[in-house]
């Protein structure tokens, strides 16, 4: 038994240690392998109370509960309320009694008057430490509506920041280190460590913390730099463009010079308090140009490499080398994942042994837990036996990360799968789909849909695939890499290429079928024969087709890029045929431009003249919209020459429609009308109704702009009849919009508004914000001409909000109408 003074000193040291590191009695007990009651007894015997555990005051959610807690604390102190008040400056006995009843709890003082609530908490008789007082102050602030914490995540702009990991456990020291870097005014924090150690999870957890949100009030930008992904790392110029888009920069107004783009990026950040999370960085040249120069911003960078070059060039740098979970954290995570029933009789040593065998890496622990729960029963296979059989060899997940402990656990999970699920895992991992449906997976593995569903279910149960509430599946990046590496070892090159081709074929055929169902006025294209094993999807109505396009759009874009990389160049333009218009309708114009250029490059490599001509048209469409008329004309001339050489009447008509749009853009409506009339003649000769409807609508529009509104009505009515016959809702809505313009030009205000509202309702239903905004703008014009300024302003206000959200320059014109004097 140590002397009393020694025990007192040890207790005092332990209390100070726990206070400084924010450790609870339970955490210390686990580290010392004693009971939590023993730790409390040591502290109490020497007159110390255990520091407050995180969340100990969370239950004080009403003033009455806070008062009851305070009453108990005063009773424990041995003082009466009278004695406590007498020994606390500026606090009266009646004030304390009011607080004990849950009444008149004061907000923090706004001026220099004393904070009576904090003065009471500071009374030594209550024995409260600084961290306890801070947490109780936050309780007081929460109850009085003066909290500094941001509780509504929707009010905080977090562009693309992933959701927090629900199984996130521990990392208290790392989170405190990030808090300290914030207090130290660091400009750059590097979080580095091996793959699977939880760098991204930590970064997201801290970025979503109340402290980070309260400090960086202008929000958070997030970008995955793909430093260790299946594809190439994102280069700095592309990364900066993506961040500029997140910051709301209009792609049309971006300077073409990269140095000017860099200056614009820094200028925007200069006036903001922004947290920038750059995830999965590859090297210093990739990161350095993205770092904010503004003193109010912080860059949080994660990567497997240490990026030591940034130590020289980046003042204000703080480092956090993330290691495996601590013993207590790893076992806590494992027990949480396994559940009480599987671990209630399991000794701590056995849980610790499995966590250690998994390298105490969060991802490996999650996979091992899922594998144990899926394939074993605690009564038949103990956790100790499972751990003994778990052979964890060393296999790097990438060329720059040979010291990872994730791949061995994944290999073990793969070996536990049925042969069919093993093959499915390997073949699905060859693709880049962000998420996917069972029907697509069935084509990739060349199995019936029911069989594919069973295989996906097995993979999800083994925690090798995630499944969302829509029934769509997704790989974790590391798991995808692991699956692809296994495919390289276990599948022949011919089988791997066939699996890639089947997945691309499914998207390509499905995209064409869905587009024709959603837009029956489109000129159909011929689909080359599909690979054996592909089961294309069919669509009976617009709604089913529109849902498919919504769900698969990201897959289509990933498929287009993958097709170009994997040597399926001849197919890329068909992906663009499906996705380009959708991107344009939704205002995702930068992606539309990227896809069109990808299609043109792939088509030129393939040497397919039809594909090249169509790709020139894909590139021309956004150029017309953005006012790049010369560029658009050049591409359309190239397309027209190719279509003429191939005697392709459909292609020639399509080019004429685009040329009409160019002439309209430059204000030559007579030339635009001539183009539309020529396109109409071609489409009538070949009997294509969709083209006829489009040309008739264009003719009506151009006639109205030439002051011939009376002549314009009939072609539009003919166009409307064509689109209604075809079931083409988008074409019909565009025609109704034209009719609204014609009625307005003829002075028929009520009729114009009626036509516009019909068009607007359909554009909204079809999810076309650009057309919706344009129709609202024109509705405002009609109201203004009719003398109803209030209704005009309401319509223009809605239009402006949509145009600003899209980042389109037309917003300036609408804003000018709103700001014009009445």
254 vs 795, which has greater pLDDT? Answer: 795
- What is the structure's pLDDT at 63? 81
- What is the structure's pLDDT at 602? 96
CA distance 235 to 241: 10
Is the separation of the CB atoms in 320 and 268 below 8 Å?
Answer: no
Q: Which residues contact 396 (CB under 8 A, 6 or more apart)?
A: 402, 403, 404, 407
399 vs 645, which has greater pLDDT? Answer: 645
Read off the tokens for 428: 């699905």
CA distance 52 to 135: 9
- What is the structure's pLDDT at 735? 94
Is the separation of the CB atoms in 696 and 715 below 8 Å?
Answer: yes
Q: Give pairs for 452-456: CB < 8 Å, separation 24+.
A: 452/424, 455/418, 455/420, 455/421, 455/424, 456/424
- What is the structure's pLDDT at 26? 61
CATH fold group of domain 154-321:
Rossmann fold (3.40.50)
Is the separation of the CB atoms in 683 and 515 below 8 Å?
Answer: no
Q: What separation in angstroms does the CA of 70 have from each of 229, 467, 706?
A: 54, 47, 81
The burial class, CB within 10 Å (0-12 / 13-18 / 19+), for 172 is: middle
Same CATH topology for 63-144 and 154-321: the answer is no
User: How does pLDDT run across 424-441, given as a tens digit for each residue?
Assistant: 999 999 998 889 999 999
What is the arithmetic mean of pLDDT over 9-36?
Answer: 66
Read off the tokens for 292: 């904010």
User: Going along 78-215, which residue ranges are E strands?
Assistant: 158-159, 188-192
**Local structure of 737: helix, strand or coil:** helix
User: How does pLDDT run across 241-265, given as a tens digit for each residue?
Assistant: 988 888 888 877 788 888 998 999 9
User: How does pLDDT run across 314-336, given as a tens digit for each residue?
Assistant: 777 888 888 778 888 888 888 88
Q: What separation in angstroms does the CA of 471 have from each of 185, 457, 478, 793?
A: 44, 10, 21, 44
Is the separation of the CB atoms in 362 and 325 below 8 Å?
Answer: yes
User: How does pLDDT run across 723-742, given as a tens digit for each residue?
Assistant: 999 989 999 999 999 999 99
Q: Is the pLDDT reported for residue 153 higher than 50?
A: no
Q: Is the pLDDT reported for residue 31 higher than 80?
A: no
CATH fold group of domain 417-491:
Arc Repressor Mutant, subunit A (1.10.10)
**Local structure of 224: helix, strand or coil:** strand
- What is the structure's pLDDT at 399? 38
Q: Is the pLDDT reported for residue 461 higher than 60?
A: yes
CA distance 61 to 376: 43
Q: Which CATH number fits domain 63-144: 1.10.150, 2.60.120, 1.10.260, 3.40.50?
A: 1.10.260
Assign 463 a pLDDT band (cuts: 50, 70, 90). Answer: low
CA distance 116 to 90: 6
> Which of 468, 486, 420 is CA-nearest to residue 447?
420
Give the residues across from 726 on adjacent strands: none
Q: Where are the domains of the chain?
A: 4-45, 63-144, 154-321, 327-411, 417-491
Check: pTM over 0.95? Answer yes or no.
no
Assign 409 a pLDDT band (cuts: 50, 70, 90). Answer: very low
Q: Is the pLDDT reported for residue 20 higher than 70?
A: no
Q: Which residues contact 629 (CB under 8 A, 6 or more apart)?
A: 623, 662, 665, 666
Q: Is the pLDDT reported for residue 154 higher than 60?
A: no
Q: Is the pLDDT reported for residue 398 higher than 60?
A: no
Q: From the CA atom positions of the chain, what is the Rg in Å?
A: 33
- Tokens 């890639």 map to which residue? 500
- What is the structure's pLDDT at 716? 94
CA distance 301 to 291: 9
Q: Which residues contact 240 (CB under 8 A, 6 or more apart)?
A: 258, 261, 262, 265, 289, 290
Is the separation of the CB atoms in 143 and 63 below 8 Å?
Answer: yes
User: How does pLDDT run across 49-100, given as a tens digit for each residue?
Assistant: 555 444 567 677 788 888 888 888 888 788 888 888 888 888 888 888 888 8
CA distance 90 to 123: 12
Read off the tokens for 173: 């020291």
CA distance 360 to 355: 5
- What is the structure's pLDDT at 393? 37
């Amino acid at each position: 038994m140590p002397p009393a003074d020694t025990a007192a000193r040890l207790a005092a040291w332990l209390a100070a240690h726990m206070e400084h590191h924010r450790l609870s009695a339970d955490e210390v007990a686990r580290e010392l392998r004693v009971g939590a009651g023993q730790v409390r007894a040591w502290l109490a015997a020497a007159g110390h109370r255990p520091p407050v555990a995180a969340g100990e005051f969370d239950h004080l959610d009403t003033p009455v509960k806070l008062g009851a807690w305070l009453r108990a604390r005063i009773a424990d102190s041995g003082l009466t309320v009278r004695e406590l008040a007498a020994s606390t400056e500026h606090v009266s006995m009646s004030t304390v009694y009011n607080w004990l009843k849950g009444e008149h709890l004061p907000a923090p003082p706004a001026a220099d008057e004393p904070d009576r609530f904090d003065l009471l908490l500071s009374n030594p008789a209550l024995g409260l430490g600084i961290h306890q007082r801070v947490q109780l102050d936050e309780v007081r602030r929460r109850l009085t509506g003066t909290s500094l914490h941001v509780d509504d995540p929707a009010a905080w702009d977090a562009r693309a920041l992933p959701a927090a990991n629900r199984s996130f456990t521990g990392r208290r020291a790392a989170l405190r280190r990030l808090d300290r870097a914030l207090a130290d005014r660091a400009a750059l924090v590097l979080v580095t460590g091996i793959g699977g150690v939880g760098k991204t999870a930590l970064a997201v957890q801290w970025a979503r913390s109340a402290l980070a949100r309260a400090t960086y009030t202008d929000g958070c930008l997030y970008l995955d730099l793909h430093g260790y992904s299946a594809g190439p790392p994102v280069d700095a110029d592309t990364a900066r463009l993506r961040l500029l888009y997140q910051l709301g920069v209009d792609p049309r107004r971006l300077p073409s010079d990269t140095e000017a783009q860099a200056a614009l990026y820094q200028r925007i950040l200069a006036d903001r308090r922004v947290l920038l999370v750059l995830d999965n960085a590859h090297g210093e040249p990739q990161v350095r140009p993205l770092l904010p120069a503004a003193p109010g911003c912080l860059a949080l960078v994660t990567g497997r490499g240490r990026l030591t070059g940034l130590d020289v060039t980046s003042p204000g740098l703080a480092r956090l080398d993330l290691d495996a979970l601590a013993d207590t954290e790893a076992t806590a995570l494992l027990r949480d994942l396994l559940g009480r029933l599987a671990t209630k009789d399991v000794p701590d040593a056995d849980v610790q042994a499995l966590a250690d065998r998994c390298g105490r890496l969060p991802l490996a622990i999650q996979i091992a837990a899922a594998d144990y729960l899926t394939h074993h029963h605690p009564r038949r296979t103990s956790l100790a036996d499972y751990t003994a059989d778990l052979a964890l060899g060393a296999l790097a997940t990438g060329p720059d990360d040979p010291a990872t402990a994730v791949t061995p656990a994944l290999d073990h999970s793969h070996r536990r799968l049925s042969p069919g699920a093993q093959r499915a895992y390997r073949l699905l991992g060859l693709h880049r789909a962000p998420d996917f449906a069972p029907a697509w997976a069935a084509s990739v593995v060349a199995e019936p849909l029911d069989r594919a569903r069973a295989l996906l279910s097995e993979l999800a149960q083994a925690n090798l695939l995630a499944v969302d509430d829509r029934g769509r599946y997704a790989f974790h990046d590391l798991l995808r890499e692991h699956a692809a590496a296994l495919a390289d070892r276990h599948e022949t090159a011919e089988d791997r290429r066939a699996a890639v081709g089947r997945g691309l074929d499914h998207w390509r055929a499905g995209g064409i079928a869905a587009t024709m169902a959603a837009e029956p006025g489109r000129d159909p294209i011929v689909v080359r024969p599909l690979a054996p094993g592909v089961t294309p999807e069919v669509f009976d109505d617009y709604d089913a087709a529109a849902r498919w396009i919504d769900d698969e759009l990201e897959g289509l874009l990933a498929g287009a890029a993958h097709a170009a990389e994997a040597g399926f160049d001849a197919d890329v333009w068909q992906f663009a045929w499906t996705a380009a218009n959708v991107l344009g309708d939704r205002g995702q114009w930068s992606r539309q431009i990227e896809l069109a250029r990808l299609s043109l490059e792939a088509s030129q490599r393939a040497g397919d003249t039809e594909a090249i001509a169509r790709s020139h048209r894909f590139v021309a469409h956004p150029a017309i919209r953005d006012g790049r008329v010369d560029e658009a004309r050049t591409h359309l001339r190239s397309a027209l020459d190719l279509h003429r050489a191939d005697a392709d009447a459909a292609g020639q008509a399509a080019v004429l429609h685009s040329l009409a749009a160019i002439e309209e853009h430059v204000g030559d409506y007579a030339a635009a009308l001539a183009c539309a009339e020529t396109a109409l003649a071609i489409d009538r000769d070949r009997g294509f109704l969709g083209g006829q409807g489009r040309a008739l609508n264009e003719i009506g529009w151009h006639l109205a702009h030439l002051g011939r509104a009376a002549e314009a009505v009939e072609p539009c009515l003919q166009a409307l009849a064509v689109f209604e016959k075809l079931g083409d809702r988008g074409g019909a809505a565009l025609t109704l919009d034209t009719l609204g313009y014609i009625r307005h030009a003829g002075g028929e205000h009520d009729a114009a508004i009626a036509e516009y509202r019909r068009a607007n309702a359909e554009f909204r239903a079809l999810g076309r914000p650009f057309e919706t905004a344009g129709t609202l703008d024109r509705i405002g014009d009609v109201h203004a001409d009719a003398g109803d300024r209030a209704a005009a302003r309401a319509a223009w206000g809605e239009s402006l909000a949509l145009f600003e959200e899209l980042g389109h320059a037309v917003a300036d014109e609408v804003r000018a109408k709103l700001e014009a004097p009445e």
